[in-house]
């Protein structure tokens, strides 16, 4: 750090705030390419302290391979969360045990490998707790109660105590369940952000207790698609009720989609929240 930078930080308390970026589900090669191309530069330009990426669809739309996990970390991720597709790539069953920066859902299954919550140390030395849970409404499988699971983690890691910032990735289908989780964590987490639907919502806000909230981060993928998949097969199934082929990720230029949050270092609560859209077809938004 230059002396002038240090002086600037000493006289400007905002410089001590933590700057977090959360990016939604990375969808196939298009999403991976956009992360590799843009994230290293954004990490510098936006002076990001900590980056979380949802990687549950990064490998051919289904799960995450070890190589693709490395690609996300090399591009600038500090933590990669998964989702209901956590172990679609079978190698992740072993890989996650060797790579603690990858989190699977807290309530996935009692015997699942890996962790669902972890306290990370950011580059600036501050502690960031990240956790992910699966919802129960309209999901393909019955998962355990996400509210009691998150409650236990938050009780064990109070914001402003062990954790300087806390990020909760609420991975589920229903907007109501995501909003419920936002209010459930309000004042106890820095950020509650939804993933899984691959379509960004426009309701970024700071809840009354100080938690930054967005119902869904959207995907990092090609938006000329049906939630990241080439249009032909989903359309065929909707129109005819019959399938003919497999779903394959759309390969056009991807948009990075997610959430930028600045937190107050004293309290861990959010001071600023902005939706992020960068590159590809969606209209851009920046911090
Ligand atoms: Fe999912
Ligand atoms: Fe997904």
Beta-carbon neighbours within 5 Å of ion ligand 2: 25, 56-57
Percent of the chain whose predicted confidence (pLDDT) is above 70: 94
Angle at 163 between CA 25 and CA 42, to 5 degrees: 40
Bridge partners of 206, per DSSP, are 212
Which ligand lies nearest the alpha carbon of 257? 2
Phi, psi of 216 (to 5 degrees): -145, 135
Query: Rounded to two decimals, what is the model's pTM?
Result: 0.93
Q: Compute the mean pLDDT over every residue in the chain, rounded to the nearest whole number.
A: 93
Q: What spacing in Å lies between the alpha carbon of 121 and ligand 1's midpoint?
A: 27
The C-alpha atoms of residue 103 and residue 115 are separated, in whole angstroms, by 6
Q: What mean pLDDT comes out for the span 31-38? A: 98
- Write down the CATH number for the domain with range 3-280: 3.60.21.10
* Strands of 76-164, DSSP E: 79-81, 102-103, 117-121, 127-134
DSSP secondary structure letter of residue 205: E
Our answer to whether residue 38 is catalytic in this structure is no
Q: Where are the alpha helices (DSSP H) in the chain?
A: 3-11, 28-45, 66-75, 92-98, 146-156, 175-185, 232-240
The C-alpha atoms of residue 123 and residue 229 are separated, in whole angstroms, by 35
Look at residue 14 in the predicted model and tell me its pLDDT.
46
Q: What spacing in Å lies between the alpha carbon of 37 and ligand 1's midpoint?
A: 24
Is the pLDDT confidence value at 13 over 80? no
Q: Give the pair of three-digit tokens for residue 52.
A: 């979380």
Residue with tokens 């600037």: 8
For residue range 114-149, list pLDDT tens digits in order. Answer: 999 999 999 888 999 999 999 999 998 888 999 999
Catalytic residue among 38, 85, 157, 196: 85
Q: What spacing in Å lies between the alpha carbon of 177 and ligand 2's midpoint?
A: 17
Q: Give the pair of three-digit tokens for residue 2.
A: 């230059």
For 111, other C-beta atoms within 10 Å of its C-beta total: 5
Q: What spacing in Å lies between the alpha carbon of 273 and ligand 2's midpoint?
A: 22
For residue range 189-248, list pLDDT tens digits in order. Answer: 999 999 999 999 999 999 999 999 999 999 999 999 999 999 999 999 999 999 999 999
Q: What's the half-sphere exposure (Cβ side, CA atoms, 13 Å) at 140?
A: 5
DSSP secondary structure letter of residue 253: P
Residue with tokens 């106890």: 188
Q: Where are the alpha helices (DSSP H) in 12-109?
A: 28-45, 66-75, 92-98
The model's confidence at residue 16, banded by pLDDT at 50, 70 and 90, is: low
Look at residue 121 in the predicted model and tell me its pLDDT.
96
Q: What spacing in Å lies between the alpha carbon of 56 and ligand 1's midpoint?
A: 7
Look at residue 31 in the predicted model and tell me its pLDDT.
98
């Amino acid at each position: 750090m230059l002396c002038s930078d240090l002086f600037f930080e000493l006289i400007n308390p905002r410089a001590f705030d933590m700057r977090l970026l959360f990016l939604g589900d990375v969808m196939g090669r298009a999403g991976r390419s956009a992360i590799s191309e843009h994230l290293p530069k954004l990490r510098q330009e936006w002076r990001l302290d900590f980056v979380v990426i949802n990687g549950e669809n990064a490998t051919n739309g289904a799960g995450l391979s070890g190589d693709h996990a490395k690609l996300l970390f090399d591009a600038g991720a500090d933590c990669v969360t998964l989702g209901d597709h956590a172990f679609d790539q079978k190698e992740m069953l072993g890989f996650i045990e060797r790579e603690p920066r990858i989190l699977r859902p807290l309530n996935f299954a009692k015997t699942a490998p890996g962790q669902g919550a972890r306290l990370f140390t950011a580059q600036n030395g501050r502690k960031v707790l990240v956790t992910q849970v699966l919802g129960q409404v309209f999901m393909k499988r019955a998962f355990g109660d996400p509210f009691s699971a998150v409650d236990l983690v938050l009780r064990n890691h109070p914001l402003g105590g062990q954790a300087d910032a806390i990020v909760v990735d609420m991975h589920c289908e229903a907007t109501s369940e995501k909003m419920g989780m936002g209010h459930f964590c309000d004042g106890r987490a820095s950020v509650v952000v939804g993933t899984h639907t691959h379509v960004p919502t426009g309701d970024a806000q700071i809840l009354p207790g100080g938690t930054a909230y967005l119902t869904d981060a959207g995907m990092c993928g090609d938006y000329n698609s049906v939630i990241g998949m080439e249009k032909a097969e989903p359309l065929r199934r909707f129109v005819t009720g019959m399938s003919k082929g497999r779903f394959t990720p759309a390969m056009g230029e991807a948009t990075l989609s997610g959430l930028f949050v600045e937190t107050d270092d004293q309290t861990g609560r959010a001071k600023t929240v902005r939706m992020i859209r960068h590159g590809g077809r969606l209209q851009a938004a920046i911090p």
